């Protein structure tokens, strides 16, 4: 696999899911249990831009497609796609796509797909879940999962449906997520609420600090800050993080067909 300082341009896809992993621990549901979904609906589109330092380097788009039938259950197709801008492809070309098919009633993932193209590197992963028996199947065989395992795409949307209003500052919450034939145990700290200036205007937000794994990308475990809207939509607005070479910022630039009014928007 090719290594590059520009590889982190793909990680906003991961960051967006890490943003919201924190609160699932207190509202776990069994497969087949109906979850009240007040946060999103089919046809919703979220569009982000990625800055590498001062450079406008890429975009991330998130979309909810209309339900399809999987094993006699209706499932949303959730898509997250990220790519570098053509003007930036000369440095490091990224074309990544993550998809999850989640049960409409329980918001539990039924299938997962990842296609990563980063310069000359290509990788695909497909997983089929069996939550009742706590395993999934992928190209490498069978992998044991914890009871409420989510994936990169499904976690974002499921956790947007949760109620953040009663959280105490400094509280951390764990979540398990499947990625690259591993189950990752993550935590996110609830920092509080803050009104911020964004590309869309002044927005009231919930502020979070995901705990990071210190590796070739991240220098510090607390190097990231995330702001999500303080309304029923709970959409990520800004993600900021320091990396070993520079910094990244992800900004929400456009939204379409939200389920609820963006009441957190104070001033355009």
Chain segment 152-197, per-residue pLDDT in tens: 888 778 777 777 777 778 777 677 888 889 888 877 778 889 999 9
Q: Are 98 and 77 in contact (CB under 8 A)?
A: no
- Predicted pLDDT of residue 205: 94
Query: How many domains, the chain?
Result: 1
Separation of alpha carbons 156 and 246, rounded Å: 26
Separation of alpha carbons 115 and 122, rounded Å: 8
| Within-domain flag for 1 | no
| Within-domain flag for 167 | yes
In the predicted structure, residue 236 carries a pLDDT above the cut 80: yes
| Within-domain flag for 129 | yes
Tokens of 201: 């205007």
pTM of the shown model: 0.84
Averaged confidence pLDDT in the chain? 81
In the predicted structure, residue 20 carries a pLDDT above the cut 70: no
In the predicted structure, residue 235 carries a pLDDT above the cut 80: yes
| Within-domain flag for 68 | yes
- Predicted pLDDT of residue 245: 67
Q: Are 82 and 62 in contact (CB under 8 A)?
A: no
Domain ranges, residue 134: 7-267
| Within-domain flag for 41 | yes
3-class DSSP state of 48 = strand
Separation of alpha carbons 175 and 186, rounded Å: 5
* Model pLDDT for residues 110-134, shown as the tens digit of each residue: 999 999 888 888 989 999 999 889 9
| Within-domain flag for 107 | yes
| Within-domain flag for 2 | no
């Amino acid at each position: 696999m090719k290594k590059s300082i520009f590889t982190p341009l793909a990680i906003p896809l991961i960051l967006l899911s890490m943003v919201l992993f924190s609160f699932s621990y207190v509202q776990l549901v069994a497969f087949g249990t109906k979850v009240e979904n007040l946060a999103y609906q089919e046809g919703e589109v979220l569009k982000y831009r990625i800055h590498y330092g001062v450079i406008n380097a890429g975009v991330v788009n998130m979309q909810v497609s209309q339900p399809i039938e999987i094993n006699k259950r209706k499932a949303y197709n959730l898509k997250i796609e990220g790519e570098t801008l053509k003007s930036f492809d000369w440095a490091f070309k990224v074309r990544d796509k993550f998809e999850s098919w989640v049960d409409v009633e329980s918001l539990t993932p039924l299938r997962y797909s990842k296609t990563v193209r980063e310069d000359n590197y290509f990788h695909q992963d497909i997983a089929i879940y069996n939550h009742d028996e706590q395993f999934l199947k992928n190209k490498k065989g069978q992998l044991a999962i914890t009871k409420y395992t989510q994936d990169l795409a499904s976690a974002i949307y499921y956790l947007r449906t949760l109620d953040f209003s009663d959280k105490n500052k400094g509280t951390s919450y764990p979540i398990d997520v499947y990625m690259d034939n591993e189950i990752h145990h993550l935590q996110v700290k609830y920092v509080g609420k803050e009104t911020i200036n964004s590309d869309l205007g002044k927005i009231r937000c919930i502020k979070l600090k995901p705990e990071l794994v210190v590796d070739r990308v991240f220098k510090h475990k607390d190097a990231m800050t995330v702001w999500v809207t303080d309304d029923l939509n709970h959409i990520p607005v800004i993600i900021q993080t320091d990396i070993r070479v520079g910094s990244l910022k992800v900004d929400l630039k456009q939204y379409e067909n939200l389920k609820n009014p963006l009441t957190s928007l104070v001033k355009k």
